[in-house]
Amino acid sequence: MREVGNGFVRLVDSLGNDMSVVKAARVSYGNESKGLEADTKLINYMMNHKHGTPFEHINFTFHIKCPIFIARQWFRHRIGSFNEISGRYVKLDTLCWTPTNWRKNLNLRNKQDSVIGEWDENELEDIESSFQNALNVVLTTYEHLLEKGVAREQARAILPVGTYTEFYWTVNARSLFNFLELRTHHTAQKEMQEYAEAIHSLSQPIAPISFSAWEKNR
């Protein structure tokens, strides 16, 4: 398991490894492994020449806890299976994501471009207190609505996108490489990059040759 702030990424299960890629690729010729050196060359060749389907024979299942705004970015990766905790069935965790530092947009034309901002002490205090005060009001109201008997499916509507959610994600290695390509890139949101790096560190040992080939051909 890798902790990411107040969230985490956990590798629940995996199916297949580098040999699964090799066997899937060589089945066309009725062969399997030809030894480590030849198999490594084959994996690197396929990655370099974009022969992606053999990598679909490695699968990973992760359990992830992250802020809703991260989950919404995650769910845009359509090739994978998701199951998320339901705010209809359970009371949601009222722990909310809070920035460890505050960023500014450098260029208004590039909405993805942000850097750690510089504020004087009074400005920073105002930013942090405004954020925390708003959170306190919302979370207290959520608890109050539940205590009054309001249905969970309605009370959850007040919760912010910084609320933590949990989900299971099953994905094959080919799609995982695409996810990592996009979400570890320097233009991805910093918090998203942190989760993607955690995914990378957990999945890489399962298929080290395939991951090495991907790294070389990014």
Residue-range definition of the domain harbouring residue 146? 103-158
In a domain, 95, yes or no: no
In tens, the pLDDT along 126-158 reads 999 999 999 999 999 999 999 999 999 999 999
In a domain, 170, yes or no: yes
How high is the pLDDT of residue 4? Answer: 97
69 shares a domain with 111? no
How high is the pLDDT of residue 218? Answer: 86
175 shares a domain with 80? yes
Helix (H) or strand (E) holding 72: helix 68-74
How high is the pLDDT of residue 112? Answer: 60
- Per the listing, tokens 């460890």 go with 100
> 111, 142, 158: which is the final residue of a domain?
158
119 shares a domain with 67? no
143 shares a domain with 37? no
Q: Identify the active-site residue in 26, 103, 183, 218.
A: 183
10 shares a domain with 68? yes
Nearest to 17 by CA among 190, 211, 166: 211
In a domain, 97, yes or no: no
168 shares a domain with 146? no
Q: Count structural domains, the chain.
A: 2
Q: Which two tokens stand for residue 90?
A: 């359970």
Q: How far apart are CA 94 and CA 68, in angstroms?
A: 12
Q: Which two tokens stand for residue 68?
A: 């809703």
Domain containing residue 40: CATH number: 3.30.1360.170
168 shares a domain with 149? no
Instruction: Judge whether 2 counts as a catalytic residue.
Output: no
Q: Are 194 and 69 in contact (CB under 8 A)?
A: no
**pLDDT, one tens digit for every residue, the chain (218 residues):** 999 999 999 999 999 999 999 999 998 776 778 889 999 999 999 999 999 999 999 999 999 999 999 999 999 998 899 999 999 999 998 889 999 888 887 766 655 667 666 778 898 899 999 999 999 999 999 999 999 999 999 999 999 999 999 999 999 999 999 999 999 998 899 999 999 999 999 999 999 999 999 999 88
How high is the pLDDT of residue 142? Answer: 97
82 shares a domain with 16? yes
In a domain, 43, yes or no: yes
In tens, the pLDDT along 93-119 reads 888 999 988 888 776 665 566 766 677
Helix (H) or strand (E) holding 14: strand 7-15
Q: Are 141 and 60 in contact (CB under 8 A)?
A: no
Is 115 in a helix, a strand, or coil?
Answer: strand
